[in-house]
Amino acid sequence: MEILTWTYLLVGLSFALYIGIAIWSRAGSTKEFYVAGGGVSPLANGMATAADWMSAASFISMAGIISFAGYDGSVYLMGWTGGYVLLALLLAPYLRKFGKFTVPDFVGDRYYSKTAKVVAVICALFISFTYVAGQMRGVGIVFSRYLEVPIEWGVVIGMCIVFFYAVLGGMKGITYTQVAQYCVLIFAYMVPAIFVSMQLTGNPIPQLGLGGAVADGTPLLDKLDGVLTELGFAAYTSGRKSITDMFMITLALMVGTAGLPHVIVRFFTVPRVKDARLSAGYALVFIAILYTTAPAIAAFGIFNTIESTSEKNISELPAWVSTWQKTNLISVDDKNGDGKVQYVADSDANELSIDRDIMVLASPEIAELPNWVVGLVAAGAMAAALSTAAGLLLVISTSVSRDLFKTFRPEISEKKELRIARIAAAGAVVLAGYFGVNPPGFVAQVVAFAFGLAAASFFPVIIMGIFSSRINKEGAIAGMLSGLIFTLAYIIYFKFISPEFNTSDHWWFGVSPEGIGSIGMLINFVVCVLVSRVTPAPPQDVQDMIQEIRIPRGAGKAVDH
Amino acid sequence: MAQDPGKMKAYWKKNLKTLFFLLLVWFVVSFGFGILLVEELNTIRLGGYKLGFWFAQQGSIYAFVVLIFIYVYRMNKLDKEFDVDEE
């Protein structure tokens, strides 16, 4: 069968599955809508968290970034997984014991202040929106390449699907749909990786294949280092970023991961505190399967690409080059007119340019795998983008209905609250779709900064809220605002106001805008502690609550106020 | 919940000690081996890998997984010991 037929078949089947699950597990109450009734098993929750977390960026872009960045790409691998250690050890069990529905709920109660809560809601909305707009764009790109429809239509189709199950099913629907989506996406990611690893190194496990040897007996990574330095690039296994910058970016991504509202909220859905700890462990196992495969796909991808194109006659290039040329993601320009492709570091002489986003999507074609594998990767990429989009929409709708509406209008009925949540989700879908169709140029750049902002705003006040009983509302509000404003200002200055200064010479202490969230976090911590010292201690009932959340017994179900 | 405050203090102290130890390992395998000491470790080889590169791209992730499960095991034991576990 043709690639297109396989794609329609596999994408169609997986969508039918998601919608079926959404109908089967429809939410009937606010509690089911927000936290799936609080009865999800840790294993299922771990899978759902993994799907929720791994977005189009993880599935499509990460391996591609590593392909071209080599060792420097490690910041994403360590950063996006190391955050789960912080989550499991420092946040999940205590927030579960606290037992409300959202992060702003916690901030509002712990810091006995509506102002603190509203600041938290604004942070949550901002982070979620920048993120979800990027996902919708990802859905559009995948649809347009595989279903051969315009990107706009791709976005609209994606909107309809997400709308259907996020709005109808709430957290309950999303949880079980995400379990299915995890299975689809991990299968789709692993199949081509296993095939390629077999072809290149004879080892079916990609994680080990990366350390394996190619046909002539030299280790793959050494061979890659050699080929790249010969062409004028830096060696694959050595870094170009400064140690300070590597450190700061990794830290910002780790802390940001632990502060992302759509990930934290998942730990409210399990029955007990010990399940919250365990499900963070399961989540990381499921994530690690993909994250340890990604560096293998990255190295195989760049190796295969160079082998099959560099110094080859343009007329004899493999078929995938022309397929992807149609989407403008690959371009070949014979500058010196010798009829051969020169792939070199010098941009004046280089004749091949490759968009890094195609490394995963094109990997089955590059390795000449059967057509059904190509269709499978399309279905997996969809699953990754849609599951994250749905999780984020839920955070947005909960923030609006619960953290904003119910805080100021506590008398509204549960039925009405649920209706507001659904309307908010619908509104968010439309807005995200709009940004997917008309992407403001900054969306792609801003997604990475959502982490910096989460690191600089949420993380310190949640940690301090649990581990210190002296931090008060004045400290928390001042901390969140100073961390957030500093980080935003630094990013906006270097990315939008004076992008020409965005080089290591002008950065403060050599920290790039990607890593500045780490400094923002430190500022937040320091301001938080200092301001709390000179203002009165929190009231006794809040101090009692802090003691209470430190003890696992008596968690009960996540409760309404 | 009527719990003995002295006992709870001891529970919390042991909890913090566990956290400190685990986070120390977390820091060493990622920031230590993967970033700060990467050049030195790269002179050692692990099969087809340079050791520092391996820690940065795979080893630290395996260590993270193990750390969380040690935490789960240790805390469950601690909860029982101090009689604050859940049924």
Flag whether residue A71 sits within 8 Å of chain B, measured between CB atoms: yes
- Would you say residue A464 has pLDDT above 90? yes
pLDDT attached to residue A192:
92
Flag whether residue A97 sits within 8 Å of chain B, measured between CB atoms: no
Q: Are A282 and A45 a contacting pair, CB within 8 Å? A: yes
Mutate to test the interface with A, among B61, B67, B70, B71 (most CBs of A within 10 A): B61
Task: Tell me the backbone φ, ψ of residue A328, rounded to 5 degrees.
Answer: 65, 15
List C-alpha distances in Å: A98 to A1, A103, A268, A518, B68: 54, 10, 9, 27, 21
| Chain B hits for A272, Cβ within 8 Å | 86
* pLDDT range class, residue A39, cuts 50, 70, 90: low
* pLDDT range class, residue A171, cuts 50, 70, 90: low
Q: Are A10 and A380 a contacting pair, CB within 8 Å? A: no
Which residue on chain B is closest to A201 by alpha carbon? B48
Which residue on chain A is closest to B77 by alpha carbon? A274
Q: Are A146 and A378 a contacting pair, CB within 8 Å? A: yes
- Would you say residue A558 has pLDDT above 60? no
Residue B46 β-bridge partners: B49
CA–CA separation, A138 vs A144, rounded Å? 10
Tell me which residue in A73, A78, A551 faces B30 most closely, judged by beta carbons: A78
Which residue on chain B is closest to A82 by alpha carbon? B64
Flag whether residue A84 sits within 8 Å of chain B, measured between CB atoms: yes
Mutate to test the interface with A, among B68, B69, B83 (most CBs of A within 10 A): B68
pLDDT attached to residue B3:
65
Q: Are A71 and A392 a contacting pair, CB within 8 Å? A: no
C-alpha angle A550-A398-A453 in degrees, rounded to nearest 5: 70
Q: Do A81 and B64 touch (CB under 8 A)?
A: yes
Higher pLDDT, A363 or A329: A363
DSSP for A230-298 reads HTTPPPTTS--S-HHHHHHHHHHHHHHHHH-HHHHGGGGSSSSHHHHHHHHHHHHHHHHHHHHHHHHHH
Look at residues A510, A470, A516, A468 and name the one whose alpha carbon lies nearest to residue A491: A516
Element of type H or E holding A330: strand A330-332
Query: Which of A83-92, A150-159, A256-265, A530-539 bottoms out in mean pLDDT, i.e. has the lowest?
Result: A150-159
pLDDT attached to residue A448:
65
DSSP, res A219: B
Q: Do A213 and B48 touch (CB under 8 A)?
A: yes
Q: Are A290 and A117 a contacting pair, CB within 8 Å? A: no
Task: Tell me the backbone φ, ψ of residue A152, rounded to 5 degrees.
Answer: -60, -45
Element of type H or E holding B79: helix B60-81
What share of chain A has pLDDT > 90, as a percent? 26
Q: Do B53 and A552 touch (CB under 8 A)?
A: no
Look at residues A156, A58, A134, A159 and name the one whose alpha carbon lies nearest to residue A440: A134
DSSP, res A315: G
CA–CA separation, A304 vs A186, rounded Å? 22
Q: Are A351 and A333 a contacting pair, CB within 8 Å? A: yes
CA–CA separation, A362 vs A359, rounded Å? 6
Query: Which of A17-31, A169-183, A524-538 bottoms out in mean pLDDT, i.e. has the lowest?
Result: A17-31
Highest mean pLDDT among A36-40, A168-172, A440-444, B72-76: B72-76
A-B interface: how many C-beta pairs under 8 angstroms? 140
Other CB atoms within a 10 A radius of the CB of residue A384 amount to 31
Q: Do A243 and B35 touch (CB under 8 A)?
A: yes
Higher pLDDT, B31 or A514: B31
Task: Give the pairing type, strands B45-46 and A352-354.
Answer: unpaired
Task: Give the pairing type, strands A352-354 and A330-332.
Answer: antiparallel
- Would you say residue A443 has pLDDT above 60? no
pTM: 0.90
DSSP, res A384: H
Give me the mean pLDDT over the A444-453 stretch: 71
Distance of alpha carbon A269 from its chain centroid, rounded?
20
pLDDT attached to residue A300:
92
Other CB atoms within a 10 A radius of the CB of residue A469 amount to 17
Q: What is the dihedral of CA A13, A23, A263, A528, to 10 degrees?
A: 150
pLDDT attached to residue A561:
40
pLDDT attached to residue A124:
85
pLDDT attached to residue A316:
83
Give the pair of three-digit tokens for residue B64: 């993270």
Give me the mean pLDDT over the A526-553 stretch: 92
Look at residues A301, A262, A369, A288 and name the one whose alpha carbon lies nearest to residue A58: A288
- Would you say residue A420 has pLDDT above 90? no
| CATH number belonging to domain A3-457 | 1.20.1730.10
Give the pair of three-digit tokens for residue A489: 């200002």
Give me the mean pLDDT over the A552-559 stretch: 66
Give me the mean pLDDT over the A249-268 stretch: 88
DSSP, res A321: H
Give me the mean pLDDT over the A221-240 stretch: 88
pLDDT attached to residue A160:
81
Task: Tell me the backbone φ, ψ of residue A313, rounded to 5 degrees.
Answer: -65, 140
CA–CA separation, A503 vs A360, rounded Å? 29
Q: Do A84 and B22 touch (CB under 8 A)?
A: no
* pLDDT range class, residue A407, cuts 50, 70, 90: confident
Look at residues A192, A186, A207 and name the one whose alpha carbon lies nearest to residue A384: A186
Q: Do A211 and B22 touch (CB under 8 A)?
A: no
pLDDT attached to residue A36:
63
Flag whether residue A250 sits within 8 Å of chain B, measured between CB atoms: yes
Tens of pLDDT, residue by residue over A123-165, are 888 888 877 777 777 777 777 777 777 778 888 887 887 777 6
- Would you say residue A475 has pLDDT above 90? yes
From first to last of its 87 residues, what are the pLDDT tens digits of chain B?
456 788 889 999 999 999 999 999 999 999 999 999 998 999 998 888 999 999 999 999 999 999 999 999 999 999 999 888 876
* pLDDT range class, residue A289, cuts 50, 70, 90: very high
Q: Do A553 and B50 touch (CB under 8 A)?
A: no
| Chain B hits for A278, Cβ within 8 Å | 72
Higher pLDDT, A369 or A297: A297
DSSP for B5-54 reads HHHHHHHHHHHHHHHHHHHHHHHIIIIIIIIITHHHHTTSEETTEEHHHH
Q: Mean pLDDT for chain A?
A: 84
* pLDDT range class, residue A348, cuts 50, 70, 90: confident
Query: Which of A19-23, A117-121, A424-428, A513-517 bottoms out in mean pLDDT, i.e. has the lowest?
Result: A19-23
Stated length of chain B: 87
Higher pLDDT, A161 or A376: A376
Q: What is the dihedral of CA A519, A522, A527, A530, to 10 degrees?
A: -140
Give me the mean pLDDT over the A63-84 stretch: 91
Residue A467 burial (C-beta neighbours within 10 Å; 0-12, 13-18, 19+):
middle
Query: Which of A20-34, A226-240, A288-302 bottoms out in mean pLDDT, i.e. has the lowest?
Result: A20-34
Q: Are A200 and A304 a contacting pair, CB within 8 Å? A: yes
Other CB atoms within a 10 A radius of the CB of residue A244 amount to 16
In Å, how far is B16's CA from the nearest CA of chain A? 9
ipTM, interface predicted TM-score of the complex:
0.94
- Would you say residue A227 has pLDDT above 80? yes
Higher pLDDT, B74 or A492: B74
Which residue on chain A is closest to B25 by alpha carbon? A85
Q: Are A307 and A228 a contacting pair, CB within 8 Å? A: no
What share of chain A has pLDDT > 70, as a percent? 93
Look at residues A423, A434, A421, A428 and name the one whose alpha carbon lies nearest to residue A392: A428
Task: Show Cβ contacts of residue A30 under 8 Å, excluding neighbours closer than 6 positions.
Answer: A414, A417, A418, A421, A560
pLDDT attached to residue A295:
94
Q: Do A250 and B31 touch (CB under 8 A)?
A: yes
Which residue on chain B is closest to A220 by alpha carbon? B48
Task: Show Cβ contacts of residue A191 under 8 Å, excluding neighbours closer than 6 positions.
Answer: A373, A376
Flag whether residue A283 sits within 8 Å of chain B, measured between CB atoms: no
